[in-house]
C-alpha cells in the first residue's frame, strides 16, 4: 500500500515537473506579496485564502516544503550568472502545548523530490547517512534555527546559519540585526510570532553570500548579519529550484517572497502582505484549488510514514558526526558528539581552557561518569590520510604513562576532529612559570616536573612498542595535575598535524627556541632533536626564562657566560630567591646545556638523562672552557670536538643515537 502511494506520489511530482517546462517563461525573477496567485510546488505546505503560505501545521506535526514551481537557470561557467538576490517575510508562531518548531530553511536544490527513505523527513528531505555532506548533493541552505528552544536546554540563542550539502553550518551567527539608528547590533527572537524579514544576496564576482535579518517596517540594515565567502560555482548546477522548508512544532509562515537573478530583488510591499491568523483563530484553511488536494494528502502520508525517522534526524542534527565502517574497531575510543557537546555545555566560550596551533581546548565533565575531560577541537579539512590520522590517534590512546596526558578517545565530524584528554586541573606549566601567581613553583616542584617530563619522554622514545617522537616539547605542552606532577601533552600530534595539512611534504613543526638546528636544516625530527627541546625546556624551568627573548641574550649563552665566570648558579630563576639545592641546580643547568648542544652527536639519550637526574650515573666533569662548550658559539668546531665529547657518554649507556625520521606507529 505504501509503495503504491509512493509511486502515485512520484507520478504526480513527475507530471508537475513536465508541466513546469510547458509553462516556463522568465523564471529568473518573481515577487509575491502574498501567495494567492503564486506558482508554487507544495509538499505538506498550503496557502490560506488570504494568500498566507503555511509550511507546517501543528496538528499534523509534519514537515512542509514549498518551491517556486520553475527551476532557476544558473550558468555555472560564468561567475556573474551565479549572483542572485532574494528577500522574504516569515513568521514562526509557537503553539502552546507543543515543543516549538525547528525553524525555517531557505534552500536551493537541484530537485524537489524526496528520496523516499526513512530520512526523507530530515530538514531538507535530502540528507541521509550515506549522502550527508557530499558535494554531489548540490544544496545551499540558509537556516533560521530555533532548535535549542526545544528538547535541549536553552544553550544558544536562535541563530542564522549557512549550510552547504549538509546540515552542519559553514557559518552562523546568533539572530540579530544591525540597527543603523542606534549603531549597534540588536538581537531578535525568531520564534516570537512576529513577522521578520530576511535578505539573502549572493554576488558571484565577489563570491560573497550576505544574509541580513530585520523586523519588518525598518529598511534593510546597512550591515549584513552574515557575509560569508563561498564559491557557489562548486555548489549550484545549471538548473536549481528555490524554496522553503520547515519541520514540526510551530506554525511556520511565509508572508511574501521576492527573488531576482538579474538584479536586486524588489522590496515587498508590507501593506499588501497577508495577515497572520489571530491567536486562537481556528478558521478553516482551505487549500488552494490550483494544487490537487490529493497531493497534499499523499505527501502528508509519505511524510508521516517517515516521521519517526524525521524527528530523530532533526533532533540528531545538532549532534551530527561522521562515522565510517573502518572505525568500528575503534569503538571504545570513539566518543559520541552528543556526549562531548553535553560535557562541555555546548562548547561554550566560558569553557575554553586553552587555544593553540591545533585549535581550542574546552573543559568538560562526561555526563555518565563525572570524569573531567579536556576536549581539543582540531579542524581537519583533508579527507586524505584521515584513516591513518585516526589510526594514529587510537594508537596514541594506547600509550599509558603517568607522565603523559592520557588521550581517551576521539570523535569525528565534518571538517573537524575532537580529541578527548584527561583534564589537568593546574593547566600548563608556562602559565604558572610566567603567571602572576605568587609564590611561583618552588625548586622541589620544578625538579619533580623536569624529572616527570624526562620520564614520559623516555617512555615515548624507548619504552613503548614503537618510537614516538614528541616534536614540540616546551612548557606550554607540559600540563600539571592536581598534585603539580608534570605530564607531557600533545605527543605525536605534531606529526599528525603535518599529515593533515599535506601528506606529501613534511612541514616543520615545533617552536623556535626549542628546535634543534639540524632539524631546521633537514626537516628531519629524531629522538635527538626531542632531546634538544628537552634541554631548552630544562634550562627554562631552572632559569624561569624563555630560550629566546627579543632584545635579550639567548638563555644558553647566558648560562655559559655565568658558568665561565665561575658562578653558574647565578643563571637560576631569581624568583626562587636562592632557595634550591645547589648541586641539583648545577646539574640541571649543565645537563640542559649538553642536551641542547648544537651537535646532535654530543647530546645524551633520554635514558642517559634519566640516569644523571636520578644520580645513577655521574655527570662528567666538564670545564666551561673546554672546546665542547665552546662549540656552542663556534659551531664550525663542533666536528672536531665531537669525538672527544661523545666518549664522555659512552661509558654510561650503549644506546645509539636514533635517526628514525618519523614516528612509527600502528605497524606502518
Ligand X SMILES: *[C@@H]1O[C@H](CO)[C@@H](O)[C@H](O)[C@H]1NC(C)=O
Tell me: does residue 50 bind ligand X (CB under 6 A): no
Place of cell 617552536: 511
The footprint of ligand X on residues 83-122 (CB under 6 A) is: 115, 117
* Residue of the chain from 1, 97, 181, 184 that contacts ligand X (CB under 6 A): 184
Minimum distance of ligand X from residue 19's CB (angstroms): 23
The answer to whether residues 415 and 381 touch, using CB atoms and an 8 Å cutoff, is yes
Minimum distance of ligand X from residue 129's CB (angstroms): 6
Between residues 286 and 635, which has the closer beta carbon with respect to ligand X?
286
Tell me: does residue 131 bind ligand X (CB under 6 A): yes
In 3D space, the residue among 457, 474, 470 whose CA is nearest the CA of residue 546 turns out to be 474
Region binding ligand X by CB under 6 A among candidate stretches 75-83, 148-156, 489-497, 572-580: 75-83
Minimum distance of ligand X from residue 221's CB (angstroms): 10
625 in active site: no
Region binding ligand X by CB under 6 A among candidate stretches 127-135, 302-310, 394-402, 580-588: 127-135
Between residues 30 and 347, which has the closer beta carbon with respect to ligand X?
30
In 3D space, the residue among 319, 142, 116, 313 whose CA is nearest the CA of residue 235 turns out to be 142
Residue 514 φ/ψ, nearest 5 degrees: -115, 0
Tell me: does residue 227 bind ligand X (CB under 6 A): yes
Question: Could you give the count of Cα atoms lying within 13 Å of 56 in the half-sphere of its Cβ?
Answer: 32
Tell me: does residue 136 bind ligand X (CB under 6 A): no
* Cα separations in angstroms, 78 against 69, 75, 578, 646: 24, 6, 73, 67
Minimum distance of ligand X from residue 338's CB (angstroms): 21
The answer to whether residues 592 and 632 touch, using CB atoms and an 8 Å cutoff, is no
Between residues 223 and 668, which has the closer beta carbon with respect to ligand X?
223
Would you state the cell numbers that stand for residue 67, as one nine-digit string?
518551491
Question: Could you give the count of Cα atoms lying within 13 Å of 636 in the half-sphere of its Cβ?
Answer: 0
Tell me: does residue 208 bind ligand X (CB under 6 A): yes
The answer to whether residues 266 and 31 touch, using CB atoms and an 8 Å cutoff, is yes
Q: What is the DSSP letter of 319?
A: G
Count of residues touching ligand X (by CB under 6 A): 37
Tell me: does residue 194 bind ligand X (CB under 6 A): no
Q: What is the DSSP letter of 620?
A: P
Q: Which of 27, 158, 472, 530 is catalytic?
A: 472
- CB neighbours of 18 closer than 8 A, spacing ≥ 6? none
Between residues 115 and 666, which has the closer beta carbon with respect to ligand X?
115
In 3D space, the residue among 578, 581, 535 whose CA is nearest the CA of residue 559 turns out to be 535
Minimum distance of ligand X from residue 285's CB (angstroms): 5
* Residue of the chain from 262, 290, 336, 379 that contacts ligand X (CB under 6 A): 262
Tell me: does residue 274 bind ligand X (CB under 6 A): no
DSSP string across 560-586: HHHHHTT-GGGGS-GGGTT-S-HHHHH
* Cα separations in angstroms, 321 against 235, 312, 593, 641: 22, 14, 48, 57
376 labeled binding residue? yes
Tell me: does residue 301 bind ligand X (CB under 6 A): no
Tell me: does residue 354 bind ligand X (CB under 6 A): no
Between residues 58 and 245, which has the closer beta carbon with respect to ligand X?
58
SS3 category, 588: helix
Minimum distance of ligand X from residue 383's CB (angstroms): 19
Minimum distance of ligand X from residue 73's CB (angstroms): 8
Residue nearest ligand X by beta-carbon distance: 263
SS3 category, 61: coil
**Cα 552 to chain center, whole Å?**
38
Region binding ligand X by CB under 6 A among candidate stretches 128-136, 332-340, 432-440, 555-563: 128-136
List contacts with ligand X (CB under 6 A): 29-31, 57-60, 75, 77-78, 115, 117, 126, 128-131, 173, 178, 184-185, 201, 203, 208, 210, 223-225, 227, 258, 260, 262-266, 285
Which active-site residues does the annotation give?
472
Q: Tell me the binding residues for ATP.
A: 376
Amino acid at each position: 500500500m505504501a509503495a503504491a502511494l509512493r509511486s502515485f506520489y512520484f507520478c504526480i511530482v513527475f507530471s508537475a515537473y513536465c508541466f513546469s517546462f510547458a509553462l516556463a517563461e522568465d523564471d529568473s525573477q518573481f515577487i509575491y506579496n502574498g501567495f494567492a496567485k503564486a506558482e508554487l510546488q507544495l509538499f505538506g505546505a498550503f496557502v490560506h485564502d488570504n494568500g498566507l503560505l503555511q509550511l507546517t501545521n501543528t496538528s499534523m506535526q509534519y514537515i512542509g516544503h514549498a518551491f517556486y514551481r520553475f527551476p532557476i537557470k544558473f550558468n555555472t561557467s560564468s561567475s556573474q550568472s551565479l549572483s542572485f538576490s532574494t528577500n522574504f517575510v516569515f513568521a514562526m508562531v509557537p503553539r502552546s502545548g507543543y515543543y516549538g518548531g525547528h525553524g525555517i530553511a531557505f534552500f536551493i536544490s537541484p530537485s524537489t523530490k524526496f528520496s523516499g527513505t526513512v530520512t526523507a523527513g530530515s530538514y531538507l528531505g535530502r540528507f541521509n547517512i550515506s549522502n550527508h555532506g557530499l558535494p554531489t548533493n548540490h544544496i545551499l541552505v540558509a537556516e533560521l534555527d530555533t532548535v535549542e528552544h526545544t528538547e535541549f536546554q536553552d544553550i544558544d540563542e536562535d541563530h542564522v546559519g549557512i549550510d552547504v550539502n549538509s546540515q552542519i553550518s559553514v557559518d552562523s551567527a546568533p539572530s540579530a540585526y544591525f540597527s543603523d539608528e542606534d549603531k549597534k547590533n540588536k538581537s531578535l527572537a525568531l520564534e516570537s510570532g512576529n513577522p521578520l524579514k530576511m535578505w539573502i544576496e549572493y554576488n558571484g564576482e565577489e563570491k560573497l553570500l550576505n544574509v541580513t535579518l530585520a523586523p519588518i517596517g525598518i529598511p534593510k540594515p546597512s550591515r549584513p548579519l552574515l557575509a560569508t565567502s563561498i564559491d557557489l560555482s562548486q555548489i549550484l548546477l545549471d538548473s536549481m529550484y528555490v524554496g522553503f522548508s520547515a519541520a514540526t512544532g510551530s506554525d511556520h509562515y511565509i508572508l511574501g517572497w521576492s527573488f531576482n537573478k538579474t538584479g536586486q530583488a524588489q522590496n515587498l510591499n508590507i501593506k499588501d502582505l497577508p495577515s497572520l491568523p489571530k491567536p486562537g483563530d481556528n478558521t478553516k484553511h482551505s487549500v488552494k484549488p490550483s494544487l490537487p488536494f490529493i497531493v497534499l494528502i499523499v505527501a502528508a502520508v509519505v511524510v508521516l510514514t517517515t516521521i519517526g525517522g524525521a524527528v530523530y534526524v532533526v533532533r540528531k542534527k545538532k549532534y551530527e558526526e561522521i562515522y565510517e565502517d573502518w572505525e568500528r574497531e575503534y569503538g571504545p575510543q570513539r566518543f559520541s558528539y552528543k556526549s562531548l557537546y553535553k560535557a562541555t555545555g555546548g562548547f561554550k566560550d566560558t569553557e575554553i581552557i586553552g587555544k593553540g596551533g591545533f585549535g581550542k581546548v574546552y573543559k568538560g565533565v562526561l555526563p555518565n561518569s563525572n570524569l573531567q575531560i579536556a576536549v581539543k577541537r582540531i579542524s581537519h579539512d583533508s579527507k586524505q590520510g584521515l584513516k591513518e590520522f585516526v589510526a594514529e590517534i587510537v594508537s596514541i590512546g594506547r600509550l599509558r604513562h603517568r607522565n603523559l596526558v592520557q588521550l581517551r578517545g576521539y570523535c569525528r565530524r565534518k571538517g573537524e576532529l575532537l580529541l578527548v584528554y584527561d583534564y589537568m586541573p593546574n593547566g600548563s606549566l608556562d602559565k604558572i612559570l610566567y603567571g602572576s601567581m605568587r609564590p611561583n613553583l618552588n625548586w622541589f616542584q620544578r625538579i619533580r616536573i623536569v624529572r616527570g617530563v624526562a620520564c614520559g619522554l623516555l617512555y615515548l622514545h624507548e619504552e613503548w612498542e614503537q618510537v614516538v617522537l614528541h616534536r614540540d616539547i616546551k612548557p606550554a605542552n607540559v600540563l600539571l595535575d592536581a598534585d603539580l606532577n608534570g605530564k607531557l601533552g600533545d605527543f605525536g600530534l605534531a606529526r599528525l598535524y603535518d599529515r593533515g595539512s599535506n601528506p606529501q611534504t613534511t612541514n616543520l613543526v615545533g617552536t623556535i627556541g626549542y628546535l634543534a638546528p639540524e632539524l631546521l636544516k633537514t626537516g628531519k625530527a629524531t629522538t635527538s632533536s626531542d632531546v634538544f627541546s628537552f634541554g631548552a625546556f630544562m634550562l627554562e624551568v631552572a632559569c624561569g626564562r624563555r630560550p629566546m627573548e627579543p632584545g635579550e641574550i639567548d638563555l644558553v649563552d647566558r648560562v655559559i657566560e655565568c658558568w665561565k665566570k665561575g658562578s653558574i648558579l647565578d643563571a637560576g630563576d631569581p624568583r626562587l630567591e636562592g632557595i634550591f639545592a645547589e648541586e641539583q641546580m648545577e646539574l640541571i643547568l649543565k645537563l640542559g646545556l649538553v642536551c641542547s648542544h648544537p651537535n646532535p652527536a654530543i647530546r645524551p639519550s633520554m635514558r642517559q638523562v634519566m640516569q644523571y637526574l636520578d644520580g645513577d650515573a655521574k655527570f662528567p666533569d666538564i670545564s666551561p672552557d673546554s672546546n665542547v662548550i665552546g662549540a656552542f658559539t663556534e659551531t664550525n668546531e663542533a666536528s672536531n670536538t665531537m669525538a672527544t665529547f661523545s666518549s664522555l657518554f659512552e661509558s654510561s649507556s650503549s644506546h645509539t643515537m636514533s635517526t628514525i625520521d618519523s614516528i612509527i606507529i600502528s605497524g606502518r
